[in-house]
Amino acid sequence: MTADTSPRKLRYAMVGGGRDAFIGAVHRKAIALDGQAELVAGALSSSAEKARASGRDLLLADDRNHGDWQSLLDDELKRPAHERIDFVSIVTPNHVHFPVAQAFVEAGFHVVCDKPLVHTREQADALVAAVARKGTVFAVTYNYTGYPMVREARELVRSGRLGEIRKVVVEYNQGWLSTEIESEGNKQAAWRSDPAMSGAAGAVGDIGSHAENLVATVTGLEIESLCADLSSLVPGRALDDDGSLLLRFQGGARGVLIASQVNTGLENDLRLRVSGTLGTLVWRQEQPSELLHLPHDGPRRILTRGSPWLGESAKRASRLPSGHPEGFIEAFANVYGGVVADIRARLAGLAADPLEADYPRVEDGARGVRFIERTVASAKSEAKWTAW
Ligand SMILES: NC(=O)c1ccc[n+]([C@@H]2O[C@H](COP(=O)([O-])OP(=O)(O)OC[C@H]3O[C@@H](n4cnc5c(N)ncnc54)[C@H](O)[C@@H]3O)[C@@H](O)[C@H]2O)c1
């Protein structure tokens, strides 16, 4: 590889994220926040017509505004290096992740893919192997890891401030699927409740995967075994909309994970509590700038984003002084910041600074797929239930 010594804006393409889509627009705003990369190509929707209309909305050049992702890839491979994209962002429903990710990695492109990574463990293993073989950057947008106070929590655990971790409780509660809106034309609900598109799980795959990743990121604990109770509380729904799990971690810590999309009135209530021998941390996504530190033998502290006494990782993830709210898009931008740093280092022929290239990898995505698979397997087995 020839070293690229003159920094420039990176170029990216997007697959999915067309008109009326949810998360693609968030990805684009997050990428735009730091001005490090620009959208130059896309295959933005499942229908060619809507894909092109969506690309026109975003002012894509006609010859880079494609009706399907295969044409996008073919076209990129024909382009000279100074025009070609540096990475592709995949923001389609889950069933499309694997073929697109696999094809772009095999063609040597860096990839950012939303969660859950793919449908099966075999697909996840194949992707991990392809990324290792091709040496590409591969990020999975577990965007909650980008919050400064999540990074501070990770640092406090790593530095031993909590002592030995003994108990973790993570909850991801939403209420938007409390009624059968998938039958009333809600597109996001429709594919999420269809096993062919969503995968083997509903709520556990959609938001439980975020909860699993948050626990793994902050604590570094590895799940040893789990016991899951999954239900479809809205009658007729094919996939779970409510899940409660007990977790046993290697080393003895215990955990509880809740993922539910039928908690009426709740919005995006992701919350984490980690207790060690020396104290507890509490973080909530809906108040992301605060991290509660409750030491066993001292006064309680509310740590706030943007404060000078935070660790390096949290400081770097913050753009504004304390008291000026930052949120979801900034956290997402921090994941992309890590990806950009890694790609830039590779273009310059250097090893990336790990503090900068801080983003969830393909292996994290693969562990998420395993989590979903084991959760569904546990829920199917009634072995742990004692009749009343
Ligand atoms: N990280 C997060 O916080 C977060 C939040 C929401 C969704 N997601 C994930 O993002 C993905 C998309 O979710 P969403 O809610 O934005 O869905 P959505 O239904 O709003 O949007 C999906 C988009 O993909 C397009 N699409 C479908 N098939 C395609 C294909 N073959 N080629 C090109 N485009 C195609 C659709 O036309 C649509 O534009 C899912 O994997 C979901 O799990 C992540």
**Pairwise CA distance, residues 195 & 52, whole Å:** 28
Contact 236, 214 (CB under 8 A): no
The closest residue, in CA terms, to atom 21 on ligand 1 is 21
First to last CA, the chain: 66
Q: What is the pLDDT of residue 89?
A: 99
Categorize the per-residue pLDDT at 117 as very low, low, confident or very high, splitting at 50, 70 and 90. very high
Q: What is the CATH number of domain 147-319+368-387?
A: 3.30.360.10
% of the chain beyond a pLDDT of 70: 98
Q: Where exactly are the structural domains of the chain?
A: 10-144+333-361, 147-319+368-387
In the structure, which protein residues have their CB atom closer than 6 angstroms to any atom of ligand 1?
15-18, 21-24, 43, 45-46, 69, 91-94, 96, 114-115, 141, 143, 187-188, 191, 206
Mean pLDDT, rounded, for 276-294: 98
**CA neighbours closer than 13 Å in the CB half-sphere of residue 38:** 9
The closest residue, in CA terms, to atom 7 on ligand 1 is 23
Q: What is the pLDDT of residue 2?
A: 46
**pLDDT one-digit tens code per residue, 345-372:** 999 999 999 999 999 999 999 999 999 9
**pLDDT one-digit tens code per residue, 295-304:** 999 999 999 9
Q: Which residue has the higher pLDDT, 105 or 5?
A: 105
Ligand 1 centroid to Cα of residue 73, in Å, is 19
**Could you identify the residue written with the tokens 């938001």?**
207
- pLDDT averaged over every residue in the chain: 97
What CATH architecture applies to the domain 10-144+333-361?
Answer: 3-Layer(aba) Sandwich (3.40)
Q: Do domains 10-144+333-361 and 147-319+368-387 have the same CATH topology?
A: no
Q: What is the pLDDT of residue 384?
A: 75
Ligand 1 centroid to Cα of residue 364, in Å, is 19
**pLDDT one-digit tens code per residue, 173-188:** 999 999 999 999 999 9
Q: What is the pLDDT of residue 4?
A: 54
Q: What is the pLDDT of residue 331?
A: 98
Residue 122's SS3 state is: helix
Ligand 1 centroid to Cα of residue 210, in Å, is 16
C-beta atoms surrounding 187 within 10 Å = 13
Ligand 1 centroid to Cα of residue 226, in Å, is 29
Q: Which residue has the higher pLDDT, 4 or 300?
A: 300
**pLDDT one-digit tens code per residue, 206-245:** 999 999 999 999 999 999 999 999 999 999 999 999 999 9
Q: What is the pLDDT of residue 382?
A: 76
Ligand 1 centroid to Cα of residue 6, in Å, is 34
